[in-house]
């Protein structure tokens, strides 16, 4: 792996129009998610309806649904591939709208589980785990800060669907009795801040306008900044629930229509797409099908990332599948590629780490296969700052992330 530099791209912006990509030829559903195994309910050659349950998590039967109708073309222990017949056939079609006010806490948790509602865009507890019927809830934080450079999708969705967002927040206040709700938005969005403040006057919702700096959007950092509270594994230990806008909308529509989510909004950014855009796409669509639509420019030294420049993870041009873990892809052409040199023990990586880790020491121990416990590796937020500042061009964060995988 090498460190790269790209052209200055300060002007990259996303068009505010949503491009639709509704007819993938296949969809692929992974049967291994976050180290959990899912067992298929159907076999090769079976016909499957859109929104039909196709697999269940082995230990608790948390479901996965098909996002198209068609024939199961391939199935093994790792994935299911469904050939889309482009008919969008649904077994039981219903357009009933359920008022949120009819639900009790128990219904919310049960429905989020039964409809397989997942977090969008970040690795965290699933919504049904955060919104249990017996938790103690103090603060709800809606995080609209940018996770990385050129990441606009959360802000875009808040602007597009503010009514729905405020409706579900009001509902959560009613049934979970949150003491306060903080909607955290970048402070340069003055109009939005003013409008939200007006809409939420005389309620428990506070609009917090914050100056953004990189890595602040991470829940651990944000909670420390806002509430001066540290937590061990998840913020619900402290009665704090954090959602991004995409997950909140996913919960809203699932409860409102009692149907599983089959599509999601994804942002494509970088200097290698002809169009930088938001795209509505079926979950399970292959990235290469989308790329054709976006007129991807082929060139040498292309870096394709799930995410963006600081925290993005390299992904494979041919085999990447769009799923709820990633709502942002970026593609860049490298201007310069730097070779990795030896660590000079300058300490910059430790100085910059927002969590206070010593990345160089972790890297050294990882490479020497030494004991990795007691170094706080599990708290790494994978921000990439240690690699960014390293004068020896070492991708230090990759070593820390690999070490984290071992201890987890
Ligand atoms: S910043 Fe790079 S060179 Fe400096 S201590 Fe960390 S890993 Fe070593
Ligand atoms: S990626 Fe590096 S700087 Fe960021 S939290 Fe992890 S060790 Fe610290």
Instruction: Express each pLDDT in 155-191 by its tens digit.
Output: 999 999 999 999 999 999 999 999 999 999 999 999 9
Q: Tens of pLDDT along 96-133? A: 999 999 999 999 999 999 999 999 987 679 999 999 98
DSSP three-state, residue 206 = strand
Among the atoms of ligand 2, which is closest to the Cα of residue 396? 2
Q: How far, in Å, from the CA of 376 to the mean position of ligand 2?
A: 11
Q: Assess if residue 354 is contained within a domain.
A: yes
Q: How far, in Å, from the CA of 346 to the mean position of ligand 1?
A: 5
CA–CA gap between residue 98 and residue 258 (Å, rounded): 8
Q: Domain of 166: which CATH number?
A: 3.40.50.11540
Q: Tell me the mean pLDDT in the region 43-65.
A: 97
CA–CA gap between residue 12 and residue 276 (Å, rounded): 8
CA–CA gap between residue 147 and residue 121 (Å, rounded): 10
CA–CA gap between residue 351 and residue 362 (Å, rounded): 14
- Residue 1 confidence class, pLDDT cut points 50, 70, 90: low
Question: How many residues make up the chain in this entry?
Answer: 408
pLDDT score of 323:
93
Nearest alpha carbon to residue 399 among 347, 350, 363:
363
pLDDT score of 301:
73
> What is the helix (H) or strand (E) element at residue 348, kind and residue range?
helix 348-352
CA 155 vs CA 78, 133, 150, 267, 292: distances in Å: 35, 30, 11, 12, 27
- For the chain, what percent of residues have pLDDT higher than 70? 99
Among the atoms of ligand 2, which is closest to the Cα of residue 384? 1
Q: Atom 8 of ligand 2 has which residue's CA nearest to it?
A: 353
Q: How far, in Å, from the CA of 125 to the mean position of ligand 2?
A: 21
pLDDT score of 370:
87
Q: Tell me the mean pLDDT in the region 37-42.
A: 96
Q: Which residue has the tokens 């990439």?
A: 384
Same domain for 83 and 20: yes
Same domain for 220 and 159: yes
Domain count within the chain:
3
pLDDT score of 333:
85
Helix axes 245-257, 105-114, angle to 10 degrees: 100
CA–CA gap between residue 109 and residue 112 (Å, rounded): 5
Q: Atom 7 of ligand 1 has which residue's CA nearest to it?
A: 360
Residues whose CB falls within 8 Å of the CB of residue 69, separated by 6 or more in sequence, listed in order: 47, 48, 49, 50, 84, 85, 87, 88, 89, 90
Q: Assess if residue 372 is contained within a domain.
A: yes
- Residue 267 confidence class, pLDDT cut points 50, 70, 90: very high
Among the atoms of ligand 2, which is closest to the Cα of residue 349? 3
What one-character-per-residue DSSP string does 138-190 give?
-EEEEE-S-SSTT--HHHHHHHHSHHHHHHHHHHHHHHH--SEEEEEEETT-H
> Where does 153-302 have alpha helices with state H?
153-160, 162-176, 190-199, 219-227, 245-257, 287-293
pLDDT score of 5:
82
Say yes or no to pLDDT of 11 above 90: no
Last residue of a domain, one of 257, 291, 326: 257
Same domain for 160 and 237: yes
Q: Assess if residue 343 is contained within a domain.
A: no
Q: Tell me the mean pLDDT in the region 322-351.
A: 92
CA–CA gap between residue 68 and residue 49 (Å, rounded): 7
Range of the domain at 312: 3-91+260-337
Among the atoms of ligand 1, which is closest to the Cα of residue 363? 7
Q: How far, in Å, from the CA of 384 to the mean position of ligand 2?
A: 6
Same domain for 296 and 213: no
Q: Assess if residue 315 is contained within a domain.
A: yes
pLDDT score of 404:
92
Q: Assess if residue 342 is contained within a domain.
A: no
């Amino acid at each position: 792996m090498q460190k790269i530099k790209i052209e200055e791209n300060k002007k990259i912006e996303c068009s505010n129009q949503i491009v639709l990509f509704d007819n993938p030829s296949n969809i692929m559903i992974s049967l291994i998610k976050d180290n959990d195994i899912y067992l298929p309910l159907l076999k090769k050659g079976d016909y499957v309806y859109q929104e039909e349950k196709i697999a269940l998590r082995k230990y608790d039967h948390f479901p996965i649904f098909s996002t198209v109708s068609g024939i199961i073309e391939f199935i093994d222990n790792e994935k299911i591939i469904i050939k889309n017949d482009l008919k969008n056939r649904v077994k039981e079609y219903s357009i009933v709208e359920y008022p949120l006010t009819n639900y009790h806490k128990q219904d919310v948790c049960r429905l989020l589980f039964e409809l397989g509602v997942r977090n969008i865009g970040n690795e965290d507890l699933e919504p049904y785990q955060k919104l249990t019927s017996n938790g103690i809830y103090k603060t709800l934080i809606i995080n609209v800060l940018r996770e990385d450079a050129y990441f606009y999708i959360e802000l875009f969705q808040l602007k597009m669907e503010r009514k729905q967002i405020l409706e579900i927040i009001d509902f959560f206040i009613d049934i979970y009795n949150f003491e306060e709700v903080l909607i955290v938005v970048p402070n340069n969005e003055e109009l939005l801040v003013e409008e939200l403040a007006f809409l939420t006057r005389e309620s428990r919702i506070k609009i917090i306008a914050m100056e953004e700096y990189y890595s602040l959007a991470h829940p651990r950092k944000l909670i420390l900044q806002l509430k001066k509270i540290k937590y061990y594994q998840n913020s619900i230990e402290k009665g704090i629930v954090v959602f991004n806008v995409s997950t909140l909308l996913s919960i809203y529509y699932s409860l409102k229509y009692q149907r599983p989510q089959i599509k999601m909004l994804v942002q494509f950014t970088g200097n290698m797409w002809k169009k930088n855009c938001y795209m509505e796409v079926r979950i399970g669509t292959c990235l290469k099908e989308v790329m054709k639509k976006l007129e991807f420019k082929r060139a040498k030294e292309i870096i394709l990332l799930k995410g963006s420049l600081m925290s993005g993870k390299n992904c494979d041009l041919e085999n990447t599948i769009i799923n709820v873990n990633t709502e942002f892809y970026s593609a860049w052409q490298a201007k310069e590629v730097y070779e990795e040199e030896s660590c000079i023990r300058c300490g910059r990586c430790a100085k910059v780490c927002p969590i206070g880790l010593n990345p160089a020491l972790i890297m050294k121990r990882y490479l020497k296969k030494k004991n990795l416990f007691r170094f706080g590796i599990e708290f790494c937020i994978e921000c990439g700052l240690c690699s960014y500042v390293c004068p020896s061009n070492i991708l230090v964060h990759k070593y820390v992330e690999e070490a984290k995988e071992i201890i987890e």
